[in-house]
Homo-oligomer: A and B are copies of this chain.
Amino acid sequence: MELELLNLFLVLVVAWIGGSVATRVGYPSILGELIAGIIFGPALLQVLAPTETTTVLAEIGVLLMMLYIGMEIDFRELGKASWAGLLAAIGGFIVPFALGYYAVLGFGGSNLGALFVAIAVGVTSLATKSRILVDLKLLNTRIAHVLMAGALISDTLALIIFAGIISFTDAGSIEFLEILVVTGKAVLFFAVTGLLGIYVLPYLGKQLEKAGFTNRTLFFTIMLIIAIGFAELAELAGLHSILGAFIAGLFLRESIFNRKLSKELNKVFYDISIGFLAPIFFVTAGYHVTFDVFQNNLTLLIVILIVAVVGKIFGTALFYLPSGNGWREGITVGTGMNGRGAVEIVIAGIGLSLGFIDNEIFSILVFMAIFTTATVPVFLTWTTTWLRKRGELVLSSSEKKGILFLGAGPLSLYIAKKLNNKAPLSLIDSNIDNCVRANNLGLKCIQGNALKEETLMEAGGNEAGTFVSLTNNSEINVLAAQLASETMGIPNIYVSLTPSTEGANVELLDPIGASTIFAKKTDPYKWDYKLENKAFEEILTEITEHISSRDFLKQISQKEGDILPIFYENGEGELNIYHYGIELEPGYKVHYLK
């Protein structure tokens, strides 16, 4: 029972500090973890060294991380991924892949080593994306959607090619029969896991649900067993276990088990992999880095860095041309996809442990990951500023842009009418008269109880990106918002709260990340009445200085008395629902009722 506890403790601590520092300055935590491993590991300070404990935990960590990455990929989203995303993914993969491959061969590397480097150069980081897109306020642009689809497709592509290489290296020779067997085994693997994932797992899920099992830990254990079972199947088929775990993740999405439970367990797998085991992998990956490469192989290092950056950016831009979105947007997408991250390090690590690449090539790949990831925020800021200045930053025609209103009273109808041509929109009301009225205005309205999952589903909650709770009952608003967040995963939730000191209050919104619509407690009745009797004016005002939506409301209320801010228009003229927590910038416009 001699665990190398002190070592494990230190690894977790440096991983945590490294990760925190990295995210604090806007980089993915993996960057900090890698660097921590390099600094405290054998390469520099030599405080840390590999131990059996960290080796085992790191390997389990990689499996669970691949499982989690798989879980995060939404088949439907991938299916809907635009033509543009596919082009970007292929171009951004193939060009650096080819360049990387020939570069290594040119420097006298082995065929297999070259293939590993090529994959590593080709992949795209998933981890970098969201945070940077938020920071640069790109989430609602076409670029953001292309980037996400591109990264997903590129990672999936990389893993499949990686699997192919792994399965052929096992074979050794390249005789025809051998190739047939190897290919057959891989095909069998995909067929078996596909059948299991598409038919057996959902069946199992239904049986468990029927039998009334709701114990979270039970489902957690079952998911673990499935993941490790799939990983083992991949090994048996001559592929690599990470591919099995990844595919298990693809299937273990919400559909299999109870929706709420799945969401909870998704978080648990995130905690375990990203909060515990995967950082151990990245720190220990840093151990294998050697600085000798700067003396022995500096040219190759520089060549690979150039190939990675130039190949990725221009490869993406080149293949992106047929999308018709212009070469400038292609370049911008390329800079956004330039990061390498978790998957690259995992593949490089496997290459190292299988002996296909040596420590120096591995070090080059790690430095490449760090360097390219570091470029993303810098380059992407440049390119998007450039596009923005030219007025070419196109807003997305995104998938999950549906808006769901709870309550079809006059105020809801007023707001919904204005947004109706911008997004698929539907309303829910328990009162049939309200629904009929909405229908007469050309709006879709479901009559039903919004506190039931099936009503939300019927109203298209699955496809909605925004949920607006606007009945006169604050508590119904809050409960419906909880359901919309927890079972439908709707990201933007705006809730109306009445100005009573009793009952539902803002504290209840925090846990689901919802915010107060209109940036204040409001009595919808009052405005319903005014709207019904046409006793209101619509006013449009422009923002002149940076101000929060809450402060702006206060400011304007002091001047004008009782008003209700409904929308704000950002710089691109996009109409958005006014709510608590927006930072309004000069040039934005606010629509309010008086």
A14-30 contacts to B (CB < 8 Å): 16
**Contact assessment for A267 and B453 in the assembled complex, using a CB-CB cutoff below 8 Å:** no
CB nearest to A350 among chain B residues:
B1
List the B side residues contacting A354 at CB < 8 Å: 1
**Contact assessment for B453 and A479 in the assembled complex, using a CB-CB cutoff below 8 Å:** no
Q: How far is the CB of A314 from chain B (nearest CB, A)?
A: 34
Choose, from A195-203, A500-508, A524-532, the stretch at the interface: A500-508
Which 6 pairs across A and B sit closest by C-beta, in order of nearness? A475-B475, A56-B56, A217-B275, A430-B502, A1-B353, A5-B232
List the B side residues contacting A5 at CB < 8 Å: 228, 231-232, 235, 241
**Known contacts A3-B56, A476-B504; 17 further A-B pairs (Cβ under 8 A):** A1-B353, A5-B235, A12-B221, A12-B225, A16-B221, A52-B56, A220-B276, A221-B276, A221-B279, A265-B271, A268-B268, A430-B503, A449-B503, A452-B505, A479-B479, A479-B503, A479-B504
The reply to whether the CB of A133 lies closer than 8 angstroms to some CB of chain B is no
List the B side residues contacting A218 at CB < 8 Å: 275
What's the Cα separation between A8 and B244 when bound, in Å? 15
CB nearest to A228 among chain B residues:
B9
**Contact assessment for B505 and A349 in the assembled complex, using a CB-CB cutoff below 8 Å:** no
**Contact assessment for A217 and B274 in the assembled complex, using a CB-CB cutoff below 8 Å:** yes
List the B side residues contacting A140 at CB < 8 Å: none
The reply to whether the CB of A229 lies closer than 8 angstroms to some CB of chain B is yes
Binding site for B on A (CB under 8 A): 1, 3, 5-6, 8-9, 12-13, 16, 52-53, 56-57, 59-60, 63, 214, 216-218, 220-222, 224-225, 228-229, 231-232, 235, 241, 260, 265, 267-268, 270-272, 274-276, 279, 349-350, 353-354, 430, 449, 451-453, 473, 475-476, 478-479, 501-505, 507-508, 510-511
Q: How far is the CB of A63 from chain B (nearest CB, A)?
A: 8
Q: How far is the CB of A167 from chain B (nearest CB, A)?
A: 15
List the B side residues contacting A16 at CB < 8 Å: 221-222, 225
**Contact assessment for B452 and A9 in the assembled complex, using a CB-CB cutoff below 8 Å:** no
Given contacts A267-B216, A270-B217, A473-B475, contact A225 B501 (CB under 8 A): no
What's the Cα separation between A60 and B5 when bound, in Å? 10
Interface centre among A275, A430, A478 (most CB of B within 10 A): A275
Can you identify 10 A-B contacts, CB atoms within 8 angstroms? Answer: A1-B354, A5-B228, A9-B229, A13-B225, A16-B221, A221-B276, A430-B501, A452-B505, A473-B503, A475-B478
Q: How far is the CB of A554 from chain B (nearest CB, A)?
A: 22
What's the Cα separation between A6 and B507 when bound, in Å? 48
